[in-house]
Amino acid sequence: MSAALVPFGLLAMLAGCAVQDATDAATSASFSAEVVTVSDAWVKAGDAGMTGLFVVLDNGGDAEAMVVSAATDAASATELHETVADASGTMTMREVSGGFTIAANGQRVLEPGGDHLMLMGLTGPLSPGEEISVELRFSDGSMLEFSAPAKDFAGANENYEGEAEHSGGH
């Protein structure tokens, strides 16, 4: 049967099925920001320079999520960092390329001495108890906003691999 001979009602019904299939596919795929939750977020209080932000990220989805960047008005730049031992065994922080993967139905802990968000070029002092707003961007383009209180913390004083380029301590 040629397309010219197909009854109009049948064409409308087939078109409706195609639209419904596309809608079902779009709603069954979730964005990372919809399935990742944040807990225990906090930032190390500081007067100037750079500081660390720590958080627990839980992925309740069936696919891995990838954090590719972060931003906050509390700093001029925010980087994803890891802490590794250098050749001498000294713990050193460095920027992570590619992002932080959160396994499907898994967790990623950003903590002092490990993976963390580095706030560089603080725009003002972060006093204990002050809350800052942070935005995470995922590889799928979705974004998740959360707040983190500033806390006094004596640790998290690792060397920064690019420290000569940045002022202040972590």
Residue 123 structural domain: 8-152
Q: What does pTM read for this prediction?
A: 0.75
Q: Would residue 44 count as lying in a domain?
A: yes
Six token digits for residue 148: 């983190």
Mean pLDDT of the chain: 82
Q: Is residue 62 part of a domain?
A: yes
Let me know if residue 169 belongs to a domain: no
Say how many domains are in the chain.
1
In a domain, 134, yes or no: yes
- Domain contains 110: yes
Residue 159 falls within a domain, yes or no?
no
12: number of CA atoms within 13 Å, CB side? 3
Residue 168 lies in a domain: no
Q: How far is CA 8 from CA 11, 12, 125, 142, in A?
A: 5, 6, 68, 40
Q: Which of 36-45, 67-76, 86-95, 145-154 has the lowest mean pLDDT?
A: 86-95
70-129 pLDDT, tens digit each: 999 999 999 999 988 888 888 888 999 899 999 999 999 999 999 999 999 999 999 999
CATH of the domain at 127: 2.60.40.1890
Please report whether residue 166 resides in a domain. no
Task: Tell me how far CA of residue 78 lies from CA of 71, 119, 130, in angstroms.
Answer: 6, 5, 18
Confidence bin at 27 (pLDDT 50/70/90): very low
